[in-house]
Each structure stands twice: as C-alpha cells, then as structure tokens.
Structure 1
Amino acid sequence: MMLIEETAVPDAALPVAEFKAHLRLGTGFAENDVQDGVLNGFLRAAIAAIEARTGKVLISRQYSWTVYGWRDQTGEVLPVAPVQSVVSVTLRDAGGGETVLTAAACRLERDSQRPRLRPAGALLPTIPTGGAAEIVLMAGMAPDWGGLPADLGQAVLLLAAHYYEYRHETALGDGCMPFGVTSLIQRYRTVRFGSGVVQ
C-alpha cells in the first residue's frame, strides 16, 4: 500500500503571527517578516510530528491511497483520520485499464479513530489480479488553523517553540517531545488493546 499527500498545508493556513506572539519575538523592525520562512518550517515540522503521534490529520488536505488487495472486503480501514469525504475510488487492472466506481458503489463510514470505506452491498469490488485500487480522499480536523481544537493548536505552538529554542541542539534523544505537548495530545491518540490491535 502507498499513501501520498496530494496537497500540502498552504502557508496562509499556518499561524505565523500567533507563533511570533508565542515566542515573544520583537516587532516594529523594518524586516519584521525576515524569519517567516524559518517559522513556517518549524510549524510544519510540529504539525507533522503531532499528526504522526496522534494518527490525526490536523489541517484538511487531499490524499491518495493505493492498495493491491483489501484487508477486509466488508470494509477497509482508511489510513488517516478523520476523513471528510471519499473523492473517488478507481480500480486498475494489470494492463493499466481503469474503472472509476460510482458514488453508489461504496460509502464512507465516519469515525474519529478508524474511518472505513464500506461497500454499498456485501463486499467491496474485487481488485483485479496484478492491479490496484486508488482511493482519493479529503482528510483533516479543520479547513484552517482557526477551526482546530484549542488544545491541539496549543500543542503545535509549544512543539514548534521547542524546535525553535533547541534548533542548534544535536544531543536530544530520538522521539523527544515536551511533557506539555504529550499531555495535550494524549486524548487524540489511537487506543490500542493487546497484541498491537487498534480498536
């Protein structure tokens, strides 16, 4: 399987002004926006880290997911959450021929942890031998920064500030995340029960 982020978070959606205020950077200088590119980078890194830790997409964007066989033909768990809509489902055969499924062939089962692609009937359409299915979907908790839950927004600012403050530090351990950030994102993390099975 292969997941591709087709659209990135636009610069305009990043809370650069809020981040500057959080860092208490000086204002009123002639080149007040000289660090904006650097701050954007830290915000993007913080968003990516929190998305990886929680399994949730924060700012809405489009993804394509290619699978070569369904794990469960009665309903395939999608790799990101929350999913707002399934844009298209395309079956490809070994020769490159494509069949775009109609909207009536399958449906989205919304879930904050494990959204699923469900068949309209008993089973999802069979993926041709040597072929694949490509699912294009829109996922995200909010279309812009203002729509995010306050605790997640604060976690992004705290983590981006941590990256900014320790940008020259090379001795931090792998997976280092400040306690304040981990406590803010804890309730959004995917719950696992025994043997690594996600519930």
Structure 2
Amino acid sequence: MMLIEEVTVPDAALPVAEFKAHLRLGTGFGEDSLQDGVLKGFLRAAIAAIEARTGKILISREFTWSLTGWRDRSGQILPVAPVTAITGVTLIDELEVETEMPADQFRLEQDSQRPRIRPAGSLLPMVRTGGGVRIGLTAGYASEWGRLPADLGQAVLLLAAHYYEYRNETALSDGCMPFGVSSLIQRYRSMRIGIGAGI
C-alpha cells in the first residue's frame, strides 16, 4: 500500500501572519517578510507531524492510494480522514492494463475516523492476483486555514513554535511532541484495537 500526496499545502493556506503573532515577532519593519520562507517550513513540518500522528488531513488536497487488493470487498477502509470525495478508482491487472471503475459502482461512506469506499452492489470488484487498485481521493477538514477546527489550528501553531524555538537543538528524542500539542490532538487520534486494526 502506498499513499501519495498529489498536491502540497499551498502557501496561501499557511497562517504565516498568525504564526508571526504567536511568536510575537516584530512588525512594521522593512524586512518583515525576511523570515517568511523559514516560518512556512516550520508550519509545513508541524502540519505534517500532526497529520501523521492523527491520520487526519488538515488542509484539503488530493491523494492517490495504491493497494494490491481489498482487505474487505464489502467496504475498504481508507487510510486518512476526513475524506470528502473519491475522485476515481482504477483496477490494474497483472499485465498493468488499467480499467477505470464507473463512478456509479462505488460510493463514499463518510466517517470522521474510518471512512470507507463501498460498492454500489454487494461487493467491490475482484482484484486479480499480481494486479492492484488505485484510488484517487480528496481529504481534509478545510480548504483554508480559518475553517480548521480551532484546536487543530492551535496545535499546529504550538508545534511550529516549538520547532522554531528549538531549531538548533539536536538532543530531543525521536517523536518528541510537547504535552500541550498532544492534549489538543488526542481526540482526533484513531483507536486501533486488535492485530491489523484500521486499514
């Protein structure tokens, strides 16, 4: 299985002004935008870390998910949430011949934790041995920063500020995340019960 981000978070969606205010950086100087590139980098890193920790996509964008077969032909759990649209499903045979699945043969079952692709009938089509399936999807809470849930937006600013403050620190342990950030994103994390739960 492989999830590919087809479009990165656009610069216009990054809250650079809010981040500057959060850091209490001075304004009104001729070089106000001098650090913008660096600040955008920390914001992107914070967004990526929170998305990885929660399995939730913050800013809406396009993804492609490739897999070798359905885990459950009555409904396949998608790897991220919230999914707002399935843009296409392509079946690939063992000779790499691709066949587009008609849009009326599947539907999106929206869910805040475990969205699924469901068949219009009883089962999703069989994936041939040595072949695979490619699913195009749109996922994300909002297309612009101001429409994100407030706690997720605050978590991004806190984590980006943490990265900014400790940008020269090399002794932090792997996966280090400030407690305040962990608390804010806790309710968005998926519960996984049992072996292989989830996808």
Question: Which TM-score band applies after superposition, normalised by the shorter structure?
Answer: over 0.9
Deviating beyond 2 angstroms after TM superposition, the runs of 4 or more aligned structure 1 residues are 192-199
Q: 1:9 to 1:107 in 2, by over 3 A?
A: same
User: 2:137 is matched with which residue?
Assistant: 137
| 1:153-172 equivalent positions in 2, closer than 5 A | 153-172=153-172
Equivalent AA in structure 2 for residue 103 of structure 1? A
Corresponding residue for 2:127?
Answer: 127
Q: How does 1:46-57 map to 2 (within 5 A)?
A: 46-57=46-57
Shift of 1:14: 0.1
Distance 1:194 1:105 in 2: 31
Deviations 1:101-155 (A, max 9, x none): 1111111110111101111111101112321111000000111101100111000
Partner residue, 1:150: 150
* CA deviation after TM superposition for structure 1 residue 197, in Å: 3.2
Alpha-carbon separation, structure 2, partners of 1:52 and 1:2: 14
Distance 2:127 2:175 in 1: 38
Summarize the alignment of residues 155-194 of structure 1 with structure 2, pairs less than 5 Å apart: 155-194=155-194
Secondary structure in 2 aligned to 1:137?
strand
TM-score (norm 1): 0.96
Distance in 2 (CA, whole Å) between partners of 1:61 and 1:131 is: 27
Separation of aligned partners in 2, 1:197 and 1:87 = 25
Identical counterparts, % of pairs = 70
User: Does 2:36 align with 1:62?
Assistant: no
Distance in 1, matches of 2:118 and 2:193, equals 24
Unaligned runs of 5+ in 2: none
Gaps of 5+ in 1: none
- SS of the residue corresponding to residue 129 of structure 1 reads coil
Q: How far apart are residue 93 of structure 1 and its match?
A: 1.5
Do 2:5 and 2:62's aligned partners in 1 also have CA atoms closer than 8 Å? yes
Q: Residue 135 of structure 1: SS of its match in structure 2?
A: strand
Q: Please say if 1:35 is aligned against 2:59.
A: no
The separation in 2 between residues aligned to 1:125 and 1:196, in whole angstroms, is: 23
Q: Provide the TM-score with structure 2 as the length reference.
A: 0.96
Q: Deviations along 1:64-103, whole A, 9 cap, x unmatched?
A: 0111111111111101111000000011122222211111
CA distance in 2, matches of 1:197, 1:69: 16
1:18 aligns with 2:18: yes
